[in-house]
Amino acid sequence: MKNVLFDEQCELCEAARFTHWYYEDEVCWVADCEACSTPMVVWKSHGTTPETDEVNWMLARLTEAGVCRFGHGVGSLDRIMRQIPDHFHAHFRDPHWLSRRWTEAPSQYSGVGGERQLLT
Ligand SMILES: [Zn+2]
Ligand SMILES: [Zn+2]
């Protein structure tokens, strides 16, 4: 196992489990983003330079979560790191993500994988 960097000020390092988690392994986790409620993959090490094969692995797991959430052929990867530019993460956004965040209840954590449950 390589060095995993951790920054205690960083929200993504904190990895709080509030929303639905689609997937987790030693490289990354995939969960609904607390801000935009779309699937987001987060590297488990604080930094912006995962290996190419790790990037490919993470984007593949994120795409799986996107397909699981929205169906085949809906939405696309968004690799721009707007809020937290110093920790590698990526979103999978469907075309309605901007409006849906106001109209749909956020998901809640119910273990990794399994059925996606909304906050009631
Ligand atoms: Zn987000
Ligand atoms: Zn971090």
In the chain, the largest separation of any two C-alpha atoms, in whole Å, equals 42
Round to whole Å and give the CA distance between 113 and 23: 6
Q: How far is CA 39 from the centre of its chain?
A: 5
pLDDT at position 115 over 80: yes
Ligand 2 centre from 7 Cα, in Å?
5
Ligand 1 centre from 95 Cα, in Å?
14
Round to whole Å and give the CA distance between 89 and 82: 10
Ligand 1 centre from 33 Cα, in Å?
5
Helix H or strand E segment including 76: strand 76-78
Nearest ligand atom owner, CA of 42:
2
Round to whole Å and give the CA distance between 104 and 106: 6
Residue 50's pLDDT band, with cuts at 50, 70 and 90, is very high
pLDDT tens digits for range 76-92: 999 999 999 999 999 99
- Residue 99 DSSP class: H
β-strand partners of 92: 77
Topology of 21-111 in CATH? Phosphorylase Kinase; domain 1 (3.30.200)
Ligand 2 centre from 11 Cα, in Å?
6
pLDDT at position 15 over 60: yes
pTM summary value: 0.95
pLDDT at position 95 over 70: yes
pLDDT tens digits for range 27-44: 999 999 999 999 999 999
Q: Can you give the pLDDT at residue 102?
A: 82
